[in-house]
Amino acid sequence: MANAEKSTELQAPETQYEEINDLLDKKNQHYKEGFFTSAQVETFDKGLNEAVVRAISAKKDEPEWMLDFRLKAFKHWETLEEPHWAKAEYAPLDYQDYSYYSAPTCGSCDSESGSESEVDPEVAKAFAELGVPILGENANIAVDAIFDSISVSTNKREDLSELGIIFCSFSEAVQDYPELVQKYMGTVVPYHDNYFAALNSAVASDGTFVYIPEGVRCPIDLSTYFRINEAKTGQFERTILVAEKGSYVSYLEGCSAPVRDTYQLHAAVVEVIVLDDAEVKYSTVQNWYPGDDEGKGGILNFVTKRGICEGKNSKLSWTQAETGSAITWKYPSCILKGDHSIGEFYSVALTNRSQQADTGTKMIHIGKNTRSTIISKGISAGHSDNTYRGLVKILPSAEGARNFTQCDSMLIGDQCGAHTFPYIEVENATAQVEHEATTSRIGEDQLFYCKQRGIREEDAISMIVNGFCKEVFSELPLEFAQEAEELLAISLEGSVG
């Protein structure tokens, strides 16, 4: 294992722009989360076969039904071919060249997890560096921190359990709430759904389990922070979120990884179940390492996120700010089954350098008077490709369904691409579907106007881009919105001559 030092030190910024400028000034350090933590770890040998799947399950001391689920998924996965229909070019992956389990060996990996003092100090330091409050120091948020394959700390669980809320790692849920996990796992994203979902089902390492009981409004934001640390490791987390009738929760996730010169694989599955009159807000700020200027290294972010609005009047909102990853393949979707249920998708996806993103959503209208809104903002810079791919499907049963889609692309420079693939399938004549799309380039005129007022080009670009994204950022919880704005500025470094 190599020793590495963290790459930047942040000073307390006086203004938001000052911080951005500081970061912009540090050449080649634009990815401030790119440090590597040297903690004691146990990592499986590279390779994937049935024995590895069994070993992961054994490591976690899993019950028989969980192992069966994994094996079934693995057998199915072996019959599948890696999909390459996304608008992204990369060589097929060698799945035998990855390790499928890596975990810090001290701290909360033993069965006493959940007690907050036992995290490996190096790991705790890494999360502190990332600004993740794993010790419960922020009163407004509860955090599940995932380091490579396992959850190292989940805080505020006692406070939440008084309300009947379950917020724990996926592994613990398998042990402590087997009925709930069995009831919901694979119901929204079945193991045979797609190649990466099958892979995830087979080797799922950890993840977060959230259960909000009937009528409970979760008083604080729940969040998971995902950190991939080891080289050549895949992270395959599985997140299940259940909102019982009349409940509400806001859930956030953040992601980062060290700078590596080879691809790291992230294939997650997220399942969200929303029952009658319940509401779930699911926000993501994704800042996985994007690879270098030549497209070397970075995270392959192949994620299946799907929620079902099972009950009437239920609501699910996905909000995402995607600035990282070498390749993104991700379509957070809503199945609107309950009558009068609502699905929303607000997305900012920024690509720079050689990044390739193919992202969007699916809104499947089944229930009567179901409504969905899609606001997608794609920003392409450098040599990157940014694709919106979305499906709006109105089934015959979806009397009175409505969808509004707005899909805006912004180009910075002339070496990048923006693509839009909206699919609309309507099988009920009472449906109303609206689609608006624009493509713009940051205008020379806009930049000159800003410069003539004394504003630097970098500041002008970040200001214009943030303005472009405002509708989406306003959907994010406040602290996340600011983080997203700052990330955009950093990610845009060097995007214009």
Calpha distance 388→330 (Å, rounded): 10
Crossing angle (nearest 10°) for helices 64-78 and 195-203? 150
Calpha distance 437→421 (Å, rounded): 11
Stretch that binds another protein, among 86-94, 290-298, 325-333, 455-463 (CB under 8 A): 455-463
Crossing angle (nearest 10°) for helices 50-59 and 64-78? 150
Binding-site member from 450, 477, 479, 496 for another protein (CB under 8 A)? 450
**Residue 92 sits in the site that holds another protein (CB under 8 A):** no
Q: By three-state DSSP, how is residue 342 classified?
A: strand
Read off the DSSP letter of residue 419.
E
Read off the DSSP letter of residue 97.
G
Stretch that binds another protein, among 89-97, 196-204, 392-400, 456-464 (CB under 8 A): 456-464
Q: Least distance in Å: CB of 456 to another protein?
A: 6
Largest CA distance in the chain: 68
**Residue 446 sits in the site that holds another protein (CB under 8 A):** yes
Any bridge partners for residue 440, and if so which?
Answer: 410
Burial 414-439 (b: 16+ CB within 10 A, else e): eebebbbebeeebeeeebebeeeeee
**Residue 423 sits in the site that holds another protein (CB under 8 A):** no
Q: Least distance in Å: CB of 447 to another protein?
A: 9
Identity of the residue, 469 or 487, whose beta carbon is nearer to another protein in the bound complex: 469
Residue 175 burial (10 A CB sphere; 0-12, 13-18, 19+): middle
* Residues 6+ positions from 22 with CB-CB distance below 8 Å: 10, 11, 13
Q: Least distance in Å: CB of 460 to another protein?
A: 9
Read off the DSSP letter of residue 118.
G
**Residue 130 sits in the site that holds another protein (CB under 8 A):** no
Binding-site member from 464, 484, 488, 492 for another protein (CB under 8 A)? 464
Calpha distance 390→195 (Å, rounded): 19
**Residue 131 sits in the site that holds another protein (CB under 8 A):** no
Stretch that binds another protein, among 11-19, 48-56, 124-132, 174-182 (CB under 8 A): 11-19
Give the C-alpha distances (Å, rounded to integers) separating 438 from 182, 191, 408, 441, 474.
Answer: 44, 37, 5, 10, 20
Identity of the residue, 298 or 378, whose beta carbon is nearer to another protein in the bound complex: 378
Task: Please report, to the nearest 10 degrees, the dihedral formed by the alpha carbons of residues 27, 29, 328, 392 taken in order.
Answer: -80
Of the candidates 12, 36, 33, 34, the residue with the CA atom closest to the CA atom of residue 22: 12
Calpha distance 161→213 (Å, rounded): 10
**Residue 268 sits in the site that holds another protein (CB under 8 A):** no
Stretch that binds another protein, among 178-186, 300-308, 416-424, 438-446 (CB under 8 A): 438-446
Calpha distance 126→147 (Å, rounded): 10
**Residue 456 sits in the site that holds another protein (CB under 8 A):** yes
Stretch that binds another protein, among 128-136, 237-245, 348-356, 459-467 (CB under 8 A): 459-467
**Residue 296 sits in the site that holds another protein (CB under 8 A):** no
Binding-site member from 69, 127, 318, 468 for another protein (CB under 8 A)? 468
Stretch that binds another protein, among 4-12, 142-150, 362-370, 437-445 (CB under 8 A): 437-445
**Residue 335 sits in the site that holds another protein (CB under 8 A):** no
- Total interface residues for another protein by CB under 8 A: 26
**Residue 463 sits in the site that holds another protein (CB under 8 A):** yes
**Residue 441 sits in the site that holds another protein (CB under 8 A):** no
Q: Least distance in Å: CB of 454 to another protein?
A: 4
Identity of the residue, 83 or 467, whose beta carbon is nearer to another protein in the bound complex: 467
Identity of the residue, 262 or 474, whose beta carbon is nearer to another protein in the bound complex: 474
Binding-site member from 145, 469, 476, 487 for another protein (CB under 8 A)? 469
Stretch that binds another protein, among 26-34, 60-68, 270-278, 462-470 (CB under 8 A): 462-470
Binders in 15-74 for another protein, by CB under 8 A: 15, 17
Q: Least distance in Å: CB of 191 to another protein?
A: 42
Q: Which two tokens stand for residue 365?
A: 């209208």
Crossing angle (nearest 10°) for helices 50-59 and 195-203? 50
Q: Which two tokens stand for residue 295?
A: 């497209």
Identity of the residue, 163 or 463, whose beta carbon is nearer to another protein in the bound complex: 463
Residues that bind another protein (CB under 8 A): 14-15, 17, 443-446, 448-457, 459, 463-464, 466-471
